[in-house]
Amino acid sequence: MAARLAEIRARIDRAACAAGRDGGDVRVVAVTKYLAAAQMSGLRAAGLDCFGENRAQDALPKVEALAGPAAPREWHFIGTLQGNKARAVTGRFHLIHSVDRPELAERVAAAARAGGLRQRVLFQVNISGEAAKHGFTAGELAAAWHRLRSLPGLEAAGLMGMAAEDDPDPRATFRALRVLRDELDPAGAALRELSMGMSGDFEAAVAEGATLVRIGRMLFSEEAGD
């Protein structure tokens, strides 16, 4: 695991350097959705300090089970979040990547206010345009932006998006998300995070400004070293 992480970090550093960036500004979110809590106990020792989970019903028992030295520095919720799970997830994760509609933003904000906290979130944008993908369109997010960023209980930390699996030019797709982020936050004071890039395209994402890359297969698949 440490060797795989070192390879990923080296590739991040090379992609960042080529783009005039510091690779240290890019964090690896280990996508642990297929692992049981018992399989995750050694990940922190291998150098992974941020775990990303997709399903609330699977993730919350892991959050409870992993404590002390085995606990990651941060838990991130990266999957589609159903509205009826917003209260259960809010306050249990350092960052929710997948706020994909105004109604969900309002539910998370209400849950955060009820708990006396502010929940850091990313707004998910359907930058690929695929019908099956969740998320705001760029126009929808821009139109709702003033209201969303002002919701008490939410801390808007950035944007999240995915390129299509067969995207011939993922850099252009990721660039569109970065441009949207810069338009929404021209001063660069608030939306500092760009969650984009996975095992197959993270270098393109790093080249276009990703600060968080979500890596699962390259870390945990038996074929990862092939």
Confidence class for position 62, pLDDT limits 50, 70, 90: very high
Q: Is 40 inside a domain boundary?
A: yes
Q: Is 108 inside a domain boundary?
A: yes
Domain of residue 55, residue span: 2-220
**Model pLDDT for residues 165-175, shown as the tens digit of each residue:** 889 999 999 99
What pLDDT is attached to residue 165? Answer: 87
**Average pLDDT along the chain:** 94
What pLDDT is attached to residue 224? Answer: 45
DSSP for 65-134, please give it: H--GGGS-SEEEE-S---GGGHHHHTTTSSEEEEE-SHHHHHHHHHHHHHTT--EEEEEEB-TT--TTS-
Residues above pLDDT 90, as percent of the chain: 88
The mean pLDDT value for 137-165 works out to 96
User: What is the sign of the dihedral through the CA atoms of 225, 14, 199 and 191?
Assistant: positive
What is the value of pTM for the model shown?
Answer: 0.95
The yes-or-no verdict on residue 41 having pLDDT over 90 is no
Number of domains in the chain: 1
CATH number at residue 48: 3.20.20.10
Q: Is 226 inside a domain boundary?
A: no
